[in-house]
């Protein structure tokens, strides 16, 4: 019943959809299900600290059994207790804590020390990876389209434009071949120097789509660079765009190249949420058949 003292080794970031490993720990949960910790996994978990990309769909295979992984979440342990999802009480990198991928299964769990493998739904993974890549590109193109609306200096994005996406983001959510980002045009954004008056979202969206069209046409390669294979090791999404090489911290999964896409397009709409103007960017990726 020992809890691991090091992070789970994760292979999804480099594109793996299967993994074979050893069961390190099985914990009975209050709802009758089990949290299964493996030494290594290909299953992308949802991270409560940054939940933009959801969990993979996958099965856990042990002996002759195949069990659906009902949820896959980031957890953490100090060696005494296991905390899951939003119950994790510490930040990543906290001394004495290991961050782990918890595979939640019902009915039957493997024994500790047994061999177990993970098989991810590859088609679903590919659609979510395309959505995540499109999300990064759309936010960079949006920053470029809004670059001349800033009256003050704010931190720049990977292409050198004022990083509207980073300072205004409210919720980012990645789906299958799509993503949705919402941005608050509130008082705090205006104080940072953003001019939101008379913003023409149709023209802004058209400008974003022109940039995206050019980028998709370039067929640029994408790599995920990482310092190590542990769950909390820093990872970077990198792409050789025609406008320059970009490197963005990201723990998700991605398309391997822009040749995967026939098109990436956004639609921008303005909503009023409790008196604050919110820009909603719906991004849709059309992948090559
Ligand atoms: Zn990302």
Residues 187 and 237 in one domain: yes
Distance of alpha carbon 277 from the chain centroid: 25
> pLDDT band at residue 20, thresholds of 50, 70 and 90?
very high
Neighbours of 271 (CB within 10 A): 10
User: Domain holding 191: CATH number?
Assistant: 3.30.980.10
Nearest to 41 by CA among 15, 18, 73: 18
Residues with CB under 5 A from ligand 1 (ion): 250, 252
Residues 211 and 106 in one domain: no
Residues 48 and 99 in one domain: yes
DSSP sequence for 41-72: E-PPPB-TTSTTS-PPPEEEEETTEEEEE-EE
CA–CA separation, 281 and 201 (whole Å): 10
Residues 158 and 92 in one domain: no
Ligand 1 centroid vs 239 CA: distance in angstroms?
Answer: 12
Q: Does 1 fall in a domain?
A: no
Angle at 214 between CA 124 and CA 278, to 5 degrees: 65
Domain final residue, candidates 100, 120, 140: 120
Q: Does 2 fall in a domain?
A: no
Residues 209 and 71 in one domain: no
Residues 51 and 79 in one domain: yes
Residues 103 and 46 in one domain: yes
Residues 92 and 220 in one domain: no
Ligand 1 centroid vs 250 CA: distance in angstroms?
Answer: 4
Nearest to 7 by CA among 234, 230, 252: 230
> pLDDT band at residue 195, thresholds of 50, 70 and 90?
very high
Share of the chain above pLDDT 70, in %: 100
- What residues make up the domain containing 177? 123-287
Q: What is the CA radius of gyration of the chain?
A: 21
Query: In Å, how far are 11, 51, 175, 243, 256 from 224, measured between CA atoms?
Result: 11, 19, 20, 19, 9
Residue 2: predicted pLDDT: 84
Q: Give the pLDDT mean for 18-25.
A: 98
Ligand 1 centroid vs 10 CA: distance in angstroms?
Answer: 16
User: What pairing do the DSSP bridges indicate for beta strands 9-10 and 40-41?
Assistant: parallel
* Average pLDDT value for the chain: 97
Q: Does 189 fall in a domain?
A: yes
Ligand 1 centroid vs 251 CA: distance in angstroms?
Answer: 6
Residue 1 has pLDDT above 80, yes or no: no
- What φ, ψ does residue 252 adopt, rounded to 5°? -95, -165
pLDDT for 233-263, tens place per residue?
Answer: 999 999 999 999 999 999 999 999 999 999 9
Ligand 1 centroid vs 31 CA: distance in angstroms?
Answer: 32
Q: Does 270 fall in a domain?
A: yes
pLDDT for 196-212, tens place per residue?
Answer: 999 999 999 999 999 99
* H or E element that contains 141: helix 122-145
Ligand 1 centroid vs 249 CA: distance in angstroms?
Answer: 7
CA–CA separation, 103 and 118 (whole Å): 10
Query: In Å, how far are 187, 253, 280 from 8, measured between CA atoms?
Result: 41, 17, 35
Q: Does 3 fall in a domain?
A: no
Nearest to 216 by CA among 128, 283, 120: 283
Domain final residue, candidates 92, 120, 148: 120
Ligand 1 centroid vs 111 CA: distance in angstroms?
Answer: 34
Q: How many domains would you assign to the chain?
A: 2
Ligand 1 centroid vs 60 CA: distance in angstroms?
Answer: 26
Domain final residue, candidates 65, 94, 120: 120
Nearest to 236 by CA among 228, 248, 227, 246: 248
Ligand 1 centroid vs 248 CA: distance in angstroms?
Answer: 8
Residues 196 and 207 in one domain: yes
User: Domain holding 105: CATH number?
Assistant: 2.40.30.130
pLDDT for 134-172, tens place per residue?
Answer: 999 999 999 999 999 999 999 999 999 999 999 999 999
Residues 87 and 136 in one domain: no
Q: What is the reported pTM?
A: 0.96
């Amino acid at each position: 019943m020992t809890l691991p003292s090091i992070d789970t080794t994760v292979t999804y970031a480099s594109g793996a959809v299967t993994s074979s490993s050893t069961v390190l720990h099985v914990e009975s949960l209050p709802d009758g299900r089990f949290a299964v910790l493996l030494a290594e996994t290909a299953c992308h978990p949802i991270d409560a600290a940054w939940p933009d990309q959801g969990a993979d769909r996958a099965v856990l295979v042990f002996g002759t059994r195949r069990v659906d992984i009902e949820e896959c979440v980031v957890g953490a342990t100090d060696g005494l207790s296991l905390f899951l999802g939003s119950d994790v009480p510490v930040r990543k990198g906290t001394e004495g804590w290991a961050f782990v991928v918890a595979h939640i299964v019902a009915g039957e769990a493997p024994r500790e020390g047994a061999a177990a493998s993970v098989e991810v739904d590859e088609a679903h993974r590919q659609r979510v990876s395309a959505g995540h890549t499109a999300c990064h590109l759309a936010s960079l193109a949006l920053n470029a389209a809004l670059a001349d609306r800033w009256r003050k200096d704010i931190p720049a994005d990977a292409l050198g434009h004022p990083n509207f996406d980073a300072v205004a983001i409210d919720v980012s959510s990645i789906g299958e071949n799509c993503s949705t980002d919402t941005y608050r045009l509130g008082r705090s954004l205006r104080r940072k120097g953003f001019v939101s008056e008379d913003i023409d979202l149709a023209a802004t969206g058209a400008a974003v789509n022109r940039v995206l069209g050019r980028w998709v046409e370039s067929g640029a390669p994408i790599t995920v660079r990482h310092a190590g294979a542990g769950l909390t090791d820093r990872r970077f999404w990198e792409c050789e765009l025609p406008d320059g090489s970009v490197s963005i911290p990201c723990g998700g999964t991605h398309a391997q190249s822009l040749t995967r896409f026939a098109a990436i397009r956004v639609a921008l709409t303005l909503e009023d949420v409790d008196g604050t103007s919110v820009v909603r960017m719906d991004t849709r990726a059309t992948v090559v058949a």
